[in-house]
Amino acid sequence: MKNKREIQNLQLKNLIVKLRELSREKNVKLWRAVAINLEKPRRIRRKVNIAKIEKHCKAGETALIPGKVLSLGELKKDVKVSAYQFSEKAKEKLKGSMSIEELMKNNPEGKKVRLMG
């Protein structure tokens, strides 16, 4: 039988627990999907460039990346970006970016959120 690896990062562990609780409480499958993606090893987690966010998101949506946002490209649309991690250059380019925890507080129902990666 395979041994399931245990997550060592306490901040990440707590975020996954909060995501699962919110998913059960509000009955929103989005938060459960994000928790499952964050449980994966770091080398398998999603990495998304800003250009991909620009291409696939519509204006007024929130792009949710359960991984890392990288800085390639420009964001011209009115899109909010929420992710677990941002590269330094991506933080500079995306002024209105937020963490997944902030998105959970602001939009617990997960309306107009696009899971990317």
The whole-model pTM stands at 0.90
Q: Residues 100, 83: contact at Cβ < 8 Å?
A: yes
Contact call for residues 64 and 83 (beta carbons, < 8 A):
yes
**Could you tell me if residue 2 is inside a domain?**
no
Tokens in use for 70? Answer: 């990288």
Q: Tell me, yes or no, whether 99 lies in a domain.
A: yes
pLDDT per residue as tens digits for the range 59-116: 999 999 999 999 999 999 999 999 999 999 999 999 889 999 999 999 999 999 999 9
In a domain, 41, yes or no: yes
Residues 35/13, Cβ–Cβ less than 8 Å: no
| Count: domains in the chain | 1
pLDDT grade for 1, boundaries at 50, 70 and 90 = low
Whether residue 4 is contained in a domain is answered as no
- Domain with residue 79: its CATH number is 3.100.10.10
For residue 62, what are the domain limits?
10-115
Span between the terminal Cα atoms of the chain, in Å = 30
**What distance in Å separates the CA atoms of residue 3 and residue 106, rounded to the nearest whole number?**
36
Residue 5 domain-assigned (yes or no): no
